Amino acid sequence: MNQNEIPTGIVNPFSEKFVGTWDLWKLWRLEFDKFKYKGVISEQMALKNLVDLSEGDEEKAIKIVEQSIGRSWTGFYPLKSGHGRKKQSSTTTGEEPKGDIRSRVQAAVNAKFGGGEQAGSGSGLKAV
């Protein structure tokens, strides 16, 4: 077996690092809309489409997959770049937020929507 061949017969166009991302995509599709590739050819064509969109760049391909999952898309599309708007800093001071993912997400939300105080106690995000 070729070292880049996934056990199902699919040829991985990238490194072993990509296999986890591809497995995550297939699992998400199964959970989201019960979709499974019909066979080796359809799955290989989806990978080819991803290679074409990413121009063969593995990191870009991973970001495309993550974008599709994050936006609940069932296909792959070019990376969104902010629709022509200048990217804003994630904090009002221009510094990168520090800490865990929850803190970084909260800092980004505060920067975008005014950073009002949270209702109740605790440091987590609250549903309204």
pLDDT one-digit tens code per residue, 55-110? 999 999 999 999 999 999 999 999 988 644 444 444 444 454 456 666 666 666 66
pLDDT per residue over 3-26, tens digit each? 565 556 899 999 999 999 999 999
Give the total residue count for the chain: 128
Spatial separation of the C-alpha atoms in residues 62 and 126, rounded to whole Å: 30
8: exposed, middle or buried (C-beta count within 10 Å: 0-12, 13-18, 19+)? exposed
Residue 44 pLDDT level (bands cut at 50, 70, 90): very high
Spatial separation of the C-alpha atoms in residues 63 and 104, rounded to whole Å: 19
Tokens at 77, concatenated:
């599309």
Rg (CA), the chain: 19
Q: DSSP labels for 64-128?
A: HHHHHHHTT-SS--PPP--TTPPPPPSSTTSPPP-SSHHHHHHHHHHHHH--PPPSSSSSS----
